[in-house]
Structure 1
C-alpha cells in the first residue's frame, strides 16, 4: 500500500530501524482454582496478570527522547498505528522524526492478559453472579458522540476531519474494556513507571481514558519521566484534592481538538483540565493547555491521531516535545 504524502509527512520511502521488538513490564502471579471449565484444561494453576505489553521501534541514531504511546477506552495500541484509511500512523511518523516509540496495550487489554477466574467461579457455582466483573463494550452509535464525529449518531460536525469513509476499519479496533473491574490506579500505571525507568528519560503520551495515567505515574515516581502529554484526557489531576508537587518543573501538555464546547461529555473535562494547568503553574509547574483550533488546526475529532490532518498535528507535537523535552 502506498502512503500518501502530507504536509508534515517525513516519508514515504523506506523506514530504516536500528531495532524493533516487544516485551512486557509489570505483572504479578496469581494462583486460582477457577481458571477453566473445559475438561481438557485443569481448573487449578498459576497465571500472570497486570502485565503491560510493549512494542517498540528504534530509529537509526535516535536523536530525540523515547515516546510511550498509551491508548484509551475500548481500544488497544492499534490507536497509534496505520490509520483506518491506510495512512501513516503516529508510531511510524515519530520514528521517522528520530523518536524511539513504545506502543503499549493497557493491562487487561489487547495482548496484555486478563484473568477468567471470576467468570469461571460463577460458572462453577462457587461465586454469585453479582460478583462478575463489570466488563463493557462501547457501541458505535453512542461512541459516535464520544469520539465527536458529530453531536449524535449519525450526524457529522461540519468540517470534521475523521475519515468516516473508512469507519468500518475503525469500529474493528474496538475491544471489550476491563478497566472498571480493575483497581485505581490501573495496573498500567506501575507498568509505565517501570518502563520509564528502563528508558531513562521517556515522554509519556496518553489519550482519553488513559489521560490520567501519566500524572498518576509521576505521582508514584518521577524517575525516568521527561515530559507528559495528555491528549484529550478524560480527567486531569484535581487541584483541590491532589498533591501538585510531583508536577513541579515537569513539562506538561494537555491537548484538545475541535468541537469540545459542543460536547456535554468533553466540555466539563476541558474546564477541569484548565483548572489543573492553572493550579500546577501556580505551584511551580510548566504546564500548557492547547486547543488545536486556537493554533489554526481545525476540524479534529477525539481520535485526532487518526484524523485526515493527523500528521500535521504530529508535526506540531514533535516540535513541542523537541523544544520542551530536548534531545535524547
Structure 2
C-alpha cells in the first residue's frame, strides 16, 4: 500500500518505540520526508496439484502453492535521485541487516534515504518475509551464536577484536544474535537471481547493493537484467563466477575449501558492462592461520582479488577496496551496520558520484 500524501518520519519518534534500551541512539535533527512507501512480492513460481478442491474435505488435490518469490519493502524520499538502490542481504540474515543498526543507529536504509535515493530492502526467497519455499527442508535449532561471532569477525569468542567497530554492550550483541534467521528451503542462488531479476524488471534501472552470500545471486542478477546499472558488494563470501577456462584453483582454509563457479564467457561478459566495487573490512589475515573465523575470509578476499582482475582483463570496470589499506580499520563482516557505517556510506557515495550514478 502506497502513501501518496507526504509522511514525515523522524528517528527520534521511532526510537521511542523500537530502541528504548539504547542510550546512544542519536536522533537526527532533520526529518526524513517520504513521498511513497510500500511492500510487495515479486518473482517466484506456482505449483498446482491435479484434481478437484473440495471445500469441506480439503486435501492437496486441486490446490495451488505460491512460493520462491522475494519480499521487497520500499521508500521513496521527497525529490528522489533517478536511480533507486536495491539492497540484498547475506546468509543467515534478512533485509533487517540494512535497517536500524544493532546498537540503534541509522543503517544504510535510512542513510541513503537521507541522500535522496529511493531504497528497496529485500528478503530473498526462502528467507524472512518470503518464507514460502517450493522445496521442503527440516529446521533444527542448532546453537551457533559463538560460531557467527567468530565467522563474522566481531572477535574470537568471548573476546572482541581490539578497536572493532562493533558496540560492545550486551544488548547490542543480543540484538545481533536475534537478527539471525534460517533458510526455510535449500539455498539456491539461481532461485534468488530469478526473483531479483523480476524485481529489477518491475523497478527499472537501479543500483544493486549485495552483502556476503548475496554476492553470487547479485552477479547472476546483473547477468540476467540490464536494469542493474552498478553493483556495490560488501564482503562477497562465495559464488565468484569466472568465464569458462579461467576458473582459479580451489582455495583451502581452516573453515573449508572455497571453490569458484564457472559460467559461459558470454554471460561473464555482461558483468563487464557496469561499474562494480567490492569492500572488505578488517582482521583478515594475508597468510594461512588456524583461526577459523579469520582464515575463512583470507581465501574470500584472495578470490575476490582474482575475480576483479578477471573482470578488468575482459574490459570491465571493477575495483576492490580493502578498508585497512586506506586507513579505515576495525570493520566486521557487517560494514553497513558497524559503528563507522557513515564513513563507509561516504566511500560508497564517492564511488556513485564518480560513476555518475547519483
* TM-score, normalised by the number of residues in structure 2: 0.78
Question: Which of 305, 328, 331 is the aligned partner of 1:297?
Answer: 328
SS of equivalent residue, structure 1 residue 305: helix
Q: What residue in structure 1 maps to residue 37 of structure 2? A: 20
CA contact (8 A) 2:25 2:105 kept: no
* 1:119-158 mapped onto 2 (5 Å cutoff): 132=137, 139-150=144-155, 152-158=156-162
**Any idea what the Cα deviations from partners look like across 1:297-327, whole Å, max 9, x if unmatched?**
1100001111111111112212212222423
| CA distance in 2 between partners of 1:140 and 1:215 (Å) | 29
Deviations 1:92-139 (A, max 9, x none): 110110111000001011110324874xxxxxxxxxxxxx55778671
How big is the shift at 1:285? 0.3
Match among 101, 105, 108 for residue 119 of structure 2:
101
- In 1, Cα distance between the equivalents of 2:49 and 2:297? 41
Structure 1 segments unaligned to the other structure (5+ residues) = 34-38, 119-131
Output the CA distance in 1 between the equivalents of 2:337 and 2:57: 43
Q: Does structure 1 residue 177 correspond to structure 2 residue 183? A: yes
What are the Cα deviations for residues 37-84 of structure 1, in whole angstroms up to 9, with x where unaligned? xx9975553120011000001111112521110111111100011111
Which residue in 2 is equivalent to 1:220?
224
* Maintained 8 Å contact 2:131/2:184: no
> What does residue 51 of structure 1 align with?
69
The corresponding residue for 1:283 is: 314
Distance of aligned partners of 1:214 and 1:137 in 2 relative to their CA distance in 1, 3 Å threshold: farther
Where has structure 1 moved over 4 Å in runs of 4 or more? Answer: 3-6, 39-44, 132-138
CA-atom RMSD in angstroms:
2.5
Aligned-pair distance for 1:214? Answer: 1.5
- Cα distance in 1 for partners of 2:84, 2:178 equals 29
Shift of 1:85: 1.1
For residue 324 of structure 1, what is the aligned residue in structure 2?
A: 355
Structure number with higher relative contact order (C-alpha < 8 Å, ≥ 6 residues apart) = 1
**Offset, 1:178:** 4.0
Matched-pair contact (CA < 8 Å) for 1:106–1:188: yes
Partners of 2:273 and 2:118 lie apart in 1 by 24
| Maintained 8 Å contact 2:189/2:216 | no
Moved more, 191-200 or 292-301: 191-200
Q: Relative to structure 1, is the Cα distance of residues 26 and 161 closer, same or farther in structure 2, using a 3 angstrom cutoff? A: same
User: Alignment length, in residue pairs?
Assistant: 302
Q: Partner of 1:48: helix, strand, or coil? A: strand
Contact 2:311–2:317 (Cα < 8 Å) also in 1:
yes
Name whichever of 242-251 and 18-27 sits farther off.
Answer: 242-251
1:253 aligns with 2:277: yes
Once structures 1 and 2 are overlaid, which stretch shifts more, 109-118 or 68-77?
109-118
- Contact 2:125-2:133 at 8 Å conserved across structures: no
TM-score, normalised on structure 1? 0.85
> Structure 1, residues 247-289: CA drift from partner, whole Å, max 9, x if none?
1231001110111227110110110110010111010000000
Structure 2 vs 1, CA of residues 259 and 25 (structure 1 numbering), >3 Å: closer, same or farther? same
Q: Which residue of 2 aligns with 1:229?
A: 232
1:196, distance to aligned residue in structure 2 (A): 1.7
Compared with structure 1, are the counterparts of its residues 280 and 105 closer, same or farther at alpha carbon in structure 2 (3 Å cutoff)? Answer: same
